[in-house]
């Protein structure tokens, strides 16, 4: 099997840094600049050079388009892999969050501390609607299954 010098021998990835375009010879540059600044036709000895530039440029453009497509595919794959790695990181951090290790009894005490006492509810008009879903017992019970179980099992909240 022949080894492609444009590819990495280990993984086969194509060398995207290798240039396919060559600078024009200074004579070509001068000729092109002169012809562009006038409306004169190229001389007979200049035409083969220009035809060669046209053919080479077409081939180079096809090659560059192919390489750009490969680079875009690689970029898409890397972006996808990065998104997966970020999701893995986020999930692992969430699973190890300290709130998951707080004992039920401590959560129960926190819940009762952050909610108004039954006496406050009777004497303060702010707490008159026990069915308001925006009040503490309801919002605490809507956080997750565990918090819901603890909140519903804590009669002091209701």
Neighbours of 135 (CB within 10 A): 17
Delimit the domains of the chain by residue range.
Answer: 45-96, 100-157
- Model confidence, pTM: 0.54
Strand, helix or coil at 6? coil
Give the pLDDT band of residue 3 (cuts 50, 70, 90). very low
Alpha helices in 38-97 (DSSP H): 47-95
Bridge partners, residue 157, by sequence: none
| pLDDT, tens digit, 9 for 90 and up, residues 80-121 | 999 999 999 999 999 999 999 999 999 999 998 888 766 655
């Amino acid at each position: 099997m022949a080894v492609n010098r444009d590819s990495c021998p280990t993984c086969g990835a194509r060398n995207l840094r290798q240039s396919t375009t060559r600078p024009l010879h200074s004579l070509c540059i001068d000729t092109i600049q002169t012809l562009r600044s006038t409306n004169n036709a190229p001389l007979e000895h200049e035409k083969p050079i220009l035809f060669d530039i046209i053919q080479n440029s077409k081939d180079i453009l096809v090659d560059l388009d192919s390489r750009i497509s490969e680079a875009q595919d690689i970029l898409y794959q890397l972006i996808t892999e990065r998104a997966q790695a970020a999701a893995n990181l986020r999930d692992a951090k969430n699973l190890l969050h300290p709130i998951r290790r707080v004992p039920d009894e401590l959560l129960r005490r926190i819940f009762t501390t952050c909610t108004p006492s039954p006496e406050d509810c009777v004497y303060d008009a702010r707490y008159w609607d026990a069915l308001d879903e925006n009040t503490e017992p309801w919002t605490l019970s809507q956080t997750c299954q565990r918090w819901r179980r603890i909140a519903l099992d804590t009669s002091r909240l209701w």
